Structure 1
């Protein structure tokens, strides 16, 4: 409602205009507009005392009067529909009452003590959820990254031959471009589920869902490739294994599904234990192989060099080998993208250390082990497809060391399964909070806090992925490299959009240069093209899986649109409306659509600028399936409420007939506990509360606010 203190610049003093009366108010007293400043003699009320002749209303006055006349038609209780006869319903058997939402309302809210207590509890839970230190957090991603030496080294040797150490060294150095990019993103938006959550905060939900599809496929590939290679490695050492390789992979998945149900902290501790054992094993292997090389000399390396360079003396041929080796060498870095996906679980200030702890050992292990393999093992044996590192262990320290390394391979590769499962759970939680997947994915095991629905669903998805690939490790591995590259490309895209669309957002540390971002963006398609050129068939599997998941997420996000199309088809056949069974089915479909679209969302408005409010409502209209929106303004009594906020909210309520626009004035300080308390009071998740981009002096963390940034 317009408050009485507003001055209405409408003509005719001393008269009551019945068209300007609001049903819920007394008569509006019109105020004469100012006359020409050249002849006016104004008193302290703004009137010209020398001229009592009323002038015609100004453009502003007439426009404001029109708004009032249109809004006076609202019912007292804000019931009724914004029904426009000029826009008939597209449905034969439905009127405009289905197409248009009801009128919005204006209300004030004082948060109760119960809501404030729940808000404080939510913030404390968010803070207590940051339980991972630099080593436990490194364990989850580290098992995937550092365990990849068991399958990246043979893959690179098959392509780059004796130039493999060069290829692997260059491939691992590439991550120096990504580390500052990921660090800046995590500093600005310390939210789990990245890069899906990054894209959601800096662009549209459609682009974010494409990122979520790639990310889910990447985590699934991480889990199944790790499990399958662990089983394959074991089968290569134990020929009389009582079960096939695919069954071994399923057993590994089952075991680590149970471990992941223990919760994030316990799972991270298990992962760190596996990583520590792996690093210890690799240190023993490197020392033993170095000693063996010192005793044997470099004769084997010279022989391998002679064999590997015969027939490939041209610089172009050498460059081609090295380039393809770099393209496949990125397999040794898979798992690095898992760290940002659980950044909200990592203690403040530790994320930079986690990336360092994962990256530096990856450079050392991949390069040094590759050099030792070429120095001690004949090239034909390396290319024979055997377990290269276990052979290196036997050459260096005998059969006992080989058994030790085989155990390490199985153990650390199983850790990669754990990293994939837990990273996927963080992503599915974010998708559930944003109403992309059902809220059952938020259900937790009471004792451990593990999202058991997410865990079990993801493991089933991994099994389906493995089955559709005919349990072929080659197909999954080839597709995995393309998925990983695409996911890594999402990070520089996210940072570029953040700098352009959310440049005012505060972040700690040094900002990444534009040249670094553009160079990373350039390298992704180059390496992607190299993988496709080496194995063209991989792009077919990549496209098929990605398109399938994107279609699923798009359907889940656009449920109401799909239901409308179904009802429209049903509506075209009048006979179906006569049969009791189909008529009941149609009524159920209408109720379901109404239920889904009446789930509210919030806009947190700081000012009354109508352009900003319009842009935010437009974002909601194009990215969320809802017909119910609340504009929320937090205010303190001494500061008051922006003068035009109520009027502008009513204008926007009329401008969007398909959305009910409420204005809610909350007397409280705008901070994370108050936002959480409001979420509890309204029953609206904080993830569906939208706000404009805060400035660099904003003192609250976006992770604690839990809101979405939708405008500059």
Structure 2
């Protein structure tokens, strides 16, 4: 298919849609006098177009070339990218849980594994029903309002920031165990340096390679498996310390500022709450689901669950057999390295290997520390890549400033996003003085809120999008149990570390305010316009400044949005207008009806209803475009190119089981109304 032309925009079609069908003020129109920037004008209701055969062939050819040239991630590659994040928490979660759960730490980590099993089904149902990147943001964007989705994204951003900082601090802590004792490094400076290093790499264009991620993951799993097997053998033959630790009293806990004597209940409650940090990164796979091959996403969930369920409880149990509880709590940042040293020294004695030949304890500890440093660094790189995708998606949806979409002219990377992420991470390092426990608390607030919102999104999907096709359907009991579990964990972290709420809300307000300003910028500009025009008219008779401001206000909103209508349904069309008016800053809506290949089907009733809606909403220009083509991915792409409307600015009502196209083929078209 060589020589097929590239489909370009169609200015004539755009002008036809922008031209009013009325030569005079239509009967029944509002008599209110609107400002020039406030009145959108009247739409066009009889525009019809037929895509040319060559245009359709060109787009089909580009789709085919993309499918042939694009290699989707397989199970191992996708699991590796996610697994490097979630399994990196193994290096620090055991020590953190021991400070509040004491001897019940392995049990608490096992309970978290059961909770994660619940979320396997919740994530599987929700993400595969809406298989687009974005995680909680994408789910709520298709089930609720854009404002609600953006609030969820704020929590995800904070979670990315804190998990990046925790990974960097822990990587430096394990690096310190490799260096000679007389070589001490400043943890805070080293952490900032590591964050800057990866900021520089990602700005130079280095993204996470599936091959590199796979290599790190395979080595990491092999190291953890070897340590677990050797540790279990050690525990079988050296259980004395394990029973001694079991006799220790439960640790005292801080409950909203009041120190409580430890009990079985406090150990389970607060231990389980802090143990949820061990599943950080479980949501990572949903951030790049579009890049995964068919059927891979649920397998990544299963693989991550198996890793968390096996490694975290067993390694915690082995640490209790290898080290006194107090030592575990004092060295909570590097528990595995110290445990590996003890296990290695025991095996050296069993094998009668002379110490002057090789020290297995030092060797095991060195291997664990190197592996920890590498995989924690890989988790930090995942944070940079993940935050870049989320911020870019939100900027494209106009939830964040458009300058975030400006690419670096030399490297093509999103430098504003990456450097902003680096600065926010550095601020956390300084404000919380590299305190892993404090950072873990802040992270838990954000991460558990994200999981709570995801569970709520799953419930909303059942209620508001019941006809949406999905691979599996989880039971209501599973969804509710998952929601209750993370709410309990969130409550435990709030009660245990209430002082960290201040830091959490500082970041929430900074990022949330930026999002709020973007949503309210049209209203604020209108208010500024009213105040400024009043002042100008009071001081001068010149109106040039007023016209300039009016044009600026209008340009904010002069971006069309598309809603595809399948039938002549006035109720559905009105719901679409109400949604767009509430969630988008626009004064143009184009209803598009795909009429199939027939040009004789009457659309007069649909035209009349669009006219009615256009008169009902004078601040929005509502037009109708009838496309003589079937509704499919090719037609959507042709329309996007022809009228210069991005696909993420196109909406549909909720499809049902008779919908002939997979949601993944529509590449980001938003579901904004149900079929009721």
Q: Same fold (TM over 0.5)?
A: yes
- After superposition, the C-alpha distances for 1:669-695 in whole angstroms (9 at most, x for unaligned) are 110111011001010011111111111
The question of whether the paired residues in 2 share the 8 Å contact of 1:432 and 1:442 is answered with yes
1:615 matched to which residue of 2? 575
TM-score (norm 1): 0.82
Pick one of 340, 344, 361 that aligns with 1:393.
340
**Equivalent pair of 2:176/2:185 in contact (CA under 8 Å):** no
Q: Which has the higher contact order (CA 8 A, sep 6+)?
A: 2
Question: For residues 352 and 372 of structure 1, what CA distance do their matches in structure 2 show?
Answer: 30
| Cα pair 2:96 2:329 within 8 Å, conserved | no
Structure 2 residue ranges without an equivalent (≥5): 1-18, 254-259, 345-360
Equivalent position of 1:245 in the other structure: 187
Report the 3-state secondary structure (helix = DSSP H, G, I; strand = E; otherwise coil) of the residue aligned with 2:483: helix
| SS state at 1:193 partner | coil
Match of 1:203 in 2: 144
**Inter-partner Cα distance in structure 2 for 1:81 and 1:422:** 52
Decide which of 664, 669, 672 is 2:625's aligned counterpart: 664
Q: Is the 8 A contact 2:94 2:312 kept in 1?
A: yes
Contact residue 146 and residue 583 of structure 2 kept, 8 A: yes
Residues 30-179 of structure 1 mapped to structure 2, 5 A cutoff: 87-88=32-33, 96-105=35-44, 106-112=46-52, 115-116=55-56, 119-120=59-60, 123-124=63-64, 127=67, 131-179=72-120
The separation in 1 between residues aligned to 2:663 and 2:411, in whole angstroms, is 26
Give yes or no for the alignment of 1:304 onto 2:265.
no
Contact 1:122–1:676 under 8 Å retained in 2: no
* Corresponding residue to 2:446 among 461, 478, 483: 483
Pick from 455, 462, 486: which aligns with 2:425? 462
Task: Give the CA deviation at 1:617.
Answer: 0.9
1:538 aligns with 2:480: no
Within 2, Cα distance between the matches of 1:513 and 1:184?
10
The farther-off stretch of 74-83 and 689-698 is 74-83
Residue in structure 2 matching 1:283, options 207, 216, 225: 225
Distance 2:583 2:650 in 1: 13
For 2:223 and 2:21, the matched residues in 1 are separated by 76
Once the two structures are superposed, residues 98-141 of structure 1 have per-residue CA deviations (whole angstroms, 9 ceiling, x without a partner) of: 32111111311222457535643664587565621111111122
Q: Does 1:551 align with 2:493?
A: no
Q: 1:602 is matched with which residue?
A: 562
Residue matched to 2:287: 341
CA contact (8 A) 1:133 1:347 kept: yes
The structure with the larger Rg is 1
Q: Which residue of 2 aligns with 1:70?
A: none
User: Deviation per CA, 1:271-292, whole angstroms, max 9, x where unpaired?
Assistant: 2222222112212222333343
Counterparts of 2:558 and 2:327, CA distance in 1: 66
CA distance in 2, matches of 1:643, 1:86: 26
The gaps in structure 1 that reach 5 residues or longer are: 1-73, 90-95
1:675 and 2:614 aligned: no
Find the aligned partners of 2:30 and 2:607 in 1 and give their Cα distance.
27
TM-score relative to the length of structure 2? 0.86
- The 5 A counterparts of 1:428-447 are 428-439=391-402, 441-442=404-405
Alpha carbons of structure 1 residues 266 and 148: separation in structure 2 relative to 1, 3 Å: closer
* 1:529 counterpart = 2:491: yes
Q: Distance in 1 between matches of 2:141 and 2:250?
A: 49
Q: Which residue of 1 aligns with 2:176?
A: 235
Partner-residue secondary structure (3-state), 1:307: coil
- 1: CA distance between counterparts of 2:310 and 2:145? 40
| Number of corresponding residues | 628
Q: 1 CA distance for matches of 2:460 and 2:301?
A: 22
State the match for 1:506 in structure 2: 469
* TM superposition shift of 1:261: 6.0
Equivalent residue for 2:317, pick from 359, 371, 374: 371
**SS of equivalent to 1:174:** helix
Relative distance call for 1:145 and 1:306 in structure 2 (3 A) is same
Corresponding residue number in structure 1 for 2:274: 328
Q: Return the match for 2:128 from 178, 187, 193.
A: 187
Residue 423 of structure 1 corresponds to: 386
CA–CA separation in structure 2 for the residues paired with 1:75 and 1:260: 48
After superposition, the C-alpha distances for 1:58-85 in whole angstroms (9 at most, x for unaligned) are: xxxxxxxxxxxxxxxx976658799977
Call closer, same or farther: CA 1:521–1:126 in 2, change over 3 Å. Answer: farther
Distance 1:357 1:380, change over 3 A: same
Contact 1:260 1:267 in 2 (8 A): no
| Deviation of the 1:316 alpha carbon | 8.6
Match of 1:630, SS?
strand
Q: Which residue of 1 aligns with 2:371?
A: 408
* CA displacement at 1:523 relative to structure 2: 1.9
Residue 134 of structure 2 aligns to a residue whose secondary structure is coil
For residues 316 and 248 of structure 1, the distance between their equivalents in structure 2, rounded to whole angstroms, comes to: 36
Aligned pair in 2 of structure 1 residues 525, 690: CA closer, same or farther (>3 Å)?
A: same
**Aligned equivalents of 1:271, 1:663: Cα separation in 2:** 48
**Corresponding residue for residue 318 of structure 1:** 264
> Are 2:100 and 2:251, in contact at CA under 8 Å, matched by a contact in 1?
no
Give the distance between the partners of 1:470 and 1:586, measured in 2 at CA: 51
